[in-house]
Amino acid sequence: MAEIKNIEEYLKEHENKDMLRFLTCGSVDDGKSTLIGRMLYDSKMIFDDQLSAAESESKKYGTTGEKIDMALLVDGLQSEREQGITIDVAYRFFATENRKFIIADTPGHEQYTRNMVTGASTADVAIILIDARKGILTQTRRHSFIVNLLGIEHVIIAINKMDLVDFSEDVFNDIKSAYESLAEELGIKNTYYIPVSALDGDNVVDVSKNTPWYKGQPLLGLLDSMDISKEIKEEDFRFPVQYVNRPNLDFRGFCGTIAAGSVSVGDNITILPSGKTTKVKSIINAGDITEKNRQATCKSAYAPMAITLTTEDEVDISRGDMIVHTDSLPRVSNSLKVMLVWMDENPMDVKRSYDIKRATSVVSGKFEHINYKIDVNSYERTKVDRLELNDIASCKMLLTQPIAADSYEHNRLTGSFIVVDRITNNTVGAGMIVGVSRREADVSKLAEKEYTDAEKALNQYIRDNFPEWECKVI
């Protein structure tokens, strides 16, 4: 019984640790996968079977001679091992005494920039690796721009392969100075600089004797102690409705995960985009909804809890609606200014309609025009009429119906969306809401563009000859 109790205490202690998500990025062969592998290996987070497999694979694919190729602990795809590169985003989990971590190892090749965006979308911290021999490269600038665009406030600059420049303090300071200018240009808030050798483990988990001039923490120590809490403020309540629970005539609840803020029984709430108002009657925890325990409720809930809300009035609420506090309404519009990352081999067509998935809502829409494309290498803005793979641009997005929208800076979940091709069902883009414009008065103009020439001619014939019908062919 004592062992069971100890296990339960350990699990409870582990459960209460805070979570930090970070990603590694940078140019090709900067050592991203090797760094993560070394961190896991030196912190004793590798199982024996994983280590044995890495030793075996190192003899076949390794590039480090007799040593274990640490990158193989992370690169799982056969094509990654054969080429010695990262293609897809690899996620790894580990924990220390203080924190739990989720690592996203992202690719460095330009053609896989879309994969890097995926890994960065949920990260709290970014580790950008720079080869000490090469300094800041084009892909370093590209990834730094994307990291800043996605709102990651903490950026660690790991200047890697210091062993190949004899752990020179001058080389480290030169790269640090160059990146400080880049960070100031982009507006990156918090930067940290560490000289490392991922291959040999210098300053990864333990402080290296080879860099007596470096007085800071090793990489893992910095991650373990870093304060990632944002400025304390009362967030506005946002509850995207995921599912309407109607098991019988006596109960109707609205299920979902709180995206931001908190809610209490008796709060005045508004359902958007309809604008109907009511009050919260009860809040039910996700685990409490059973036939025998239907009435088990709590007085309040907060993000990111999964709950079911019931309302005092019979209000029409369905999947995709947003429930908010009546005194903190977001703007509701079908016209949005967005930053768009195009992720498809086929170019973006401003004449086509796409499905826009934001939180739990799916709305048809299109990109009215491209304001400008950003050259992520030089940060210049250029005028274009379409977007190619990995392009990043500012666009005006027009939806067929309005949604309640927050800016991405204000709320990552309610301020981001993905773009889905309506024919192939492929995800072709990802975007961030930058601003909300006034609602377009005539949304039907958007649908009108979908008509064929024959349908347009028929509509015009009806309007000319039968005006009393006041209708059009769909």
Tell me the backbone φ, ψ of residue 367, rounded to 5 degrees: -100, 105
Alpha carbon distance 141, 182 (integer Å): 8
Q: Determine contact, residues 252/246, Cβ cutoff 8 Å.
A: yes
Per-residue pLDDT for the chain (474 aa), expressed as one digit of tens each? 445 556 666 666 666 678 888 888 877 777 777 888 788 777 776 655 555 655 555 555 555 555 555 555 554 433 333 433 333 466 778 888 888 888 887 765 555 566 777 777 788 899 999 999 999 988 888 888 888 888 888 999 999 999 999 999 999 999 999 999 999 998 888 999 999 998 888 999 899 999 999 999 999 999 998 887 654 445 789 999 999 999 888 899 999 999 999 999 999 999 999 999 999 999 997 554 444 444 456 888 988 889 999 999 989 999 999 999 999 899 899 999 999 999 888 999 888 899 999 999 999 999 999 999 998 778 889 999 999 988 899 999 999 999 998 999 888 889 999 999 998 999 899 999 998 887 765 444 444 444 556 666 666 666 666 554 544 443
Place of tokens 């809040």: 283
State how far the Cα of 163 lies from the Cα of 27, in Å rounded to an integer: 18
DSSP state of 464: H
**CA–CA separation, 380 vs 369, rounded Å?**
19
Helix axes 113-120, 138-149, angle to 10 degrees: 40
pTM listed for this prediction: 0.75
- Ordered by where they begin, the domains of the chain are 2-225 (3.40.50.300), 238-325 (2.40.30.10), 331-441 (2.40.30.10)
- Please give the backbone phi and psi of residue 365, each rounded to the nearest 5 degrees, phi first: -165, 175
Q: In whole angstroms, what separates CA 419 from the centre of its chain?
A: 14
Which amino acid does the sequence have at 276? K
Question: How big, in percent rounded to 5, are the helix, strand and coil portions of the chain?
Answer: 25, 35, 40
Structure tokens at 100: 């739990």
Look up residue 470 and give its amino acid. E
Please tell me the distance from the alpha carbon of residue 259 to that of residue 235, in angstroms, as a whole number: 10
Query: Strand, helix or coil at 83?
Result: helix
Local structure of 241: helix, strand or coil: coil
So what's the pLDDT on residue 412?
86
- Summarised one tens digit per residue, pLDDT across range 178-199 is 999 999 998 888 999 999 998 8
Tell me how far apart the alpha carbons of residues 75 and 353 are, in angstroms, rounded to a whole number. 37
CA–CA dist 345, 153 (Å, integer): 31
pLDDT tens digit sequence for 311-338: 999 899 999 999 999 998 998 999 999 9
Neighbouring-strand partners of residue 361:
358
Q: What is the pLDDT of residue 234?
A: 59
CB count within 10 Å of CB 106 equals 27
- Give which of 384, 380, 381 is closest to 367, Cα–Cα: 384
